[in-house]
Structure 1
Amino acid sequence: MTQFDPNRLNAFLGQMLGDLGGAFSLPLIRLGDRLGLYRLLHERGPIEAGALAEAAGCDPRYVREWLSAQAASGYVGFDPATGTFSLSPEQAMVFAVEDSPAWLIGAFDTAAAMVENQSKVADAFRSGEGVGWGDQAGCLFCAVARFFRPGYLNHLVEEWIPALGGGVAEKLRKGALVADIGCGHGISTILMAKAFPRSEFIGYDFHEGSITAAREHARAHGLDGNIRFEVGRAKDFPATGLDLVTCFDCLHDMGDPEGAAAHVRRALKPGGTWMIVEPLAGDSLAENLNPVGRLYYSASTMICVPTSRAQEVGAALGAQAGEKRLAEVIRAGGFRNVRRATETPFNMVLEAT
C-alpha cells in the first residue's frame, strides 16, 4: 500500500463523516417537511417529543427517533434539562419558513430526484446522449420550482428588476409586454405579473406538464387578466414586439442557447432588454471550487448536462458556465452589450441589449 499521512487521512474521513451525515439526513429532512414537523416545531417549540407527535398526528416512537437524529445533526435544538426540542430563528428560516430567502427544502427535494435519476444518467454517461427534462425521474420540475422560489420571491421584484438599465422598471409600471422563457411552474412569471399589473406577461416552457402547473398556480393567485402560459421553445416562441424577455436559471439547460439568443433578439422591440438569471460562477474551475460550486456542478452533472444533451445541438453549457462563456453565447445571438447587473450568493443577473 502506498504510504499515507494519517493526519490527512483522518481529516478526510472527518469530511466524509460530515458528508455521509448529510446524505443520511436527506429522507429525514423531507419527512420533516411532508409531515409538518418543522412547521410545528417552529410554531409550538420548545416541545417534548410526545407532544410534537400528537400535534402532527404521528407515532411518538418514530417522532422521538427523528428528533434525535435532527438534534445530532444540529438541525434542531435540544434542552437536556427539560427534554424539549426547538428550532432557532435561523434553523426555522432554513426548514420551516417558506418565504425565507434561506428556505432550502426544495434543494433537498431536488437532491432526492437526482438520486432517483441515477440509472438514467448512468446510461447517458455511456452513450453520450441525454435525458429529457420530461423524462427525468420523479417530479424533478416540482422540486426545482420549490428550490428556486425563495430566491425569486426575495430578490426578483425588489432587487433584480430595479438593477436593469434602460428604465425597465418604469416601463413595467406603465405597461409593457414581457415573455418569461423557460418559466417552469410560473413562479417568476406570477411574481412579476402581481407586481406590475399594467404589464402583460407570457410564460413559455417546452414542458407541457410545467405549463399545466403554471396555469393552476396563476388561477390560485387570482391572476388571469395580465398573464398567460403557453407551451413554446426558447428558439421559436411566437411572441414579438417584446419590451422585456426573461430567462431564469434555464439558458445553460438549453440545447441550442445561441439559437435561443438569436430568437430572443428578433422578438424584442428596439430598445428592449433581455434579463438572464444564471447560477453564480467564476470563469474557471479553480474559481468554482467552493461550496456553491460543489452544489451546482453536482446538479449540473445529474440534471443540466443531460437535459441539454437531449435537445438539438446539445451545447451542454452546464450550471457553472461562468459569465464570460454566457456572454459569448448571448453576443452570438446578436446582442452587443452584456453586463452583470447584480448578484446574490447563488445567482448572477445578466442584462443584454
Structure 2
Amino acid sequence: MGDAFSDYLIDTINKGSLALMLSIGHRTRLFDILSTMPPSTVDEISKKAKLNQRYVKEWLGTMVTGKIIDYDSSNSKFNLPKEKAQFLTREDNLYNFSASMQWIPVLAQVEDKIIDCFHSGGGVPYSSYNRFHEVMAEESFQTVVTGLVDHILPLVPGLIDRLKDGINVLDIGCGRGKAVNILAKKFPNSMFVGYDVAEEAIKGATADSKTLNTCNTLFQVQNLLTVEPTKKFDFITAFDVIHDQIDPSRTLKFIFDSLNSSGVFLMQDILSSTDLAKNIDHPLGPFLYTISCMHCMSVSLSENGAGLGAMWGKEKALEMLRYAGFMGVEVNTLSHDFQNYYYTASKP
C-alpha cells in the first residue's frame, strides 16, 4: 500500500507539471504547428513556430517524457501523431484538452489569496483572476458554441423554428458573448440580449458583435442583485453560471419573472451529484472540486454570497429551480459535452 500510494503521488506531481506545459503548448500554438509538420528537429520546430529554441527544447522534453509527443532518437526528430493531435489542437472537431489545461495556471495564481481565505474566510473576487474571461470564452466555445445549434437548441421542441421567425432571447452571464453572437448571426429575425456583471466581458462581447456586423444584439453590464425584471423574454439561457452567483436563488427568480408565460429557461451546469459519496468515482472529481474551491465558490463568498460552488449537484439544482417556481424540469446530457447537465424548465 505504501509503495503504491507513493507511486500514485509521483504520478500526480508529474501530471500536474504536464498540465502546465500542455497549457503553454496551447498558448504558443506549438500543438497546432506540430500537427501540420512531419517529424522534425528542435531547430525546425522553433523556426516554424517563431519561438526561442532553448525553451522549445525543454518543452519538448516534458512532452516526450509525458508521453504526449513521440521522439525518434536515431534522428532527433519529434512527431505529434494525428490520433493525439485531434485532442490538442484548435482545428480538429474533438475536444481540445490543451485549452482546458489553462485552468491550472489561472487557478494557481490566486493560491496565496485562497490560503488566506482558509484562515479568515471570505473569498477572492473575479478581478484577481488574470485571463479568466479569455479562458472561459475558449471553454464555452467547446462545450456550448460548437454544439449550440445541432445539440443544445433541439432540447427545446420547436425552438429553432421560433428563432427563425423571431423571438426575444436573454443570456445570463454571457461572458464574451460567444453563444449570443453566434445565434444572432444565424437567426437575424430574433433579438438577443446578454447580461454579465463584468465590464471587461461585455466590452469583448460588444466588440465581437461589431466584427460580425450583427444588429440584433445588446450587451449590458448588469448586476441581478440590484435590478428587477423590466422585460419579458421567450427564451433565457445560463451556461455554467448559476452556481457561482452571489445569490443564485434571486438569480433564478429573476429568470423566472423575466420569462413570458410560454417561455423556456435552459441552464447548463456541472454534471455531478450534491452528495459527495456519489461523486467519488467522478472522472473529473478532483479537478471540479478544485476549481470550485479556488474559483466558483470563492468569487461568490468574496461578496458575502451563497458560495454554492461548482459541485452543487443535480439534486440541489432541481430543488432551487422548483423553489424559483419552475415546473416540468427536464435534465439531459449531450454527447459533445461530457462534463455538464442541460436543464430545461418552464412556467406552470
With normalisation by structure 2, the TM-score equals: 0.92
* Alpha-carbon shift at residue 248 of structure 1 (Å): 0.4
* Cα distance in 2 for residues equivalent to 1:225 and 1:150: 25
* Cα distance in 1 for residues equivalent to 2:97 and 2:146: 14
Aligned to 1:105: 98
- Of 139, 145, 149, 2:137 maps to 145
* Alpha-carbon shift at residue 295 of structure 1 (Å): 1.3
| 1:284-337 Cα distance to aligned partner (Å, 9 max, x none) | 21221223122111100000111111235x222211111110011111111122
Q: Secondary structure at the residue paired with 1:337?
A: strand
Aligned residues: 342
* Cα distance in 2 for residues equivalent to 1:204 and 1:349: 20
- Of 93, 118, 127, 1:125 maps to 118
- Of 288, 297, 305, 1:305 maps to 297
- Of 208, 213, 231, 2:221 maps to 231
| 1:27-81 Cα distance to aligned partner (Å, 9 max, x none) | 4223323333212101113222221112122333332222122011011122334
* Alpha-carbon shift at residue 219 of structure 1 (Å): 2.4
- Of 22, 25, 29, 1:29 maps to 22
- Of 65, 69, 73, 1:76 maps to 69
* Alpha-carbon shift at residue 271 of structure 1 (Å): 0.6
2:312 aligned partner, one-letter code: A
- Of 319, 328, 331, 2:319 maps to 328
1:106 aligned partner, one-letter code: A
| 1:71-116 Cα distance to aligned partner (Å, 9 max, x none) | 1101112233443212222322232225634112332222111100
* Alpha-carbon shift at residue 140 of structure 1 (Å): 1.8
Percent of pairs with identical residues: 27
When residues 168 and 40 of structure 1 are mapped into structure 2, their CA distance, relative to the original with a 3 A threshold, is: same
Aligned to 2:185: 194
Q: Secondary structure at the residue paired with 2:338?
A: coil
Tell me if structure 1 keeps the 8 A contact 2:184–2:214.
no
* Alpha-carbon shift at residue 340 of structure 1 (Å): 0.5
- Mapping of residues 249-268 of structure 1, within 5 Å: 249-268=240-259
Tell me if structure 1 keeps the 8 A contact 2:273–2:313.
yes
- Mapping of residues 1-353 of structure 1, within 5 Å: 8-98=1-91, 100-133=93-126, 135-165=127-157, 167-220=158-211, 222-235=212-225, 236=227, 240-289=231-280, 290-311=282-303, 314-343=305-334, 344-353=337-346
1:337 aligned partner, one-letter code: G
Tell me if structure 2 keeps the 8 A contact 1:105–1:146.
no
1:64 aligned partner, one-letter code: K
When residues 234 and 191 of structure 1 are mapped into structure 2, their CA distance, relative to the original with a 3 A threshold, is: farther
Aligned to 1:3: none
Per mean C-alpha deviation after superposition, the further-off stretch among 343-352 and 99-108 is 99-108
1:107 aligned partner, one-letter code: S
* Alpha-carbon shift at residue 341 of structure 1 (Å): 3.3
Per mean C-alpha deviation after superposition, the further-off stretch among 186-195 and 27-36 is 27-36
* Alpha-carbon shift at residue 18 of structure 1 (Å): 1.9
Tell me if structure 2 keeps the 8 A contact 1:205–1:233.
yes
Q: Secondary structure at the residue paired with 1:52?
A: helix
When residues 266 and 247 of structure 1 are mapped into structure 2, their CA distance, relative to the original with a 3 A threshold, is: same
With normalisation by structure 1, the TM-score equals: 0.91
Unmatched 5+ stretches in structure 2: none
* Cα distance in 2 for residues equivalent to 1:338 and 1:122: 38
Tell me if structure 2 keeps the 8 A contact 1:179–1:239.
no
* Cα distance in 1 for residues equivalent to 2:125 and 2:55: 38
Tell me if structure 1 keeps the 8 A contact 2:20–2:104.
no
* Cα distance in 1 for residues equivalent to 2:303 and 2:58: 45
Unmatched 5+ stretches in structure 1: 1-7
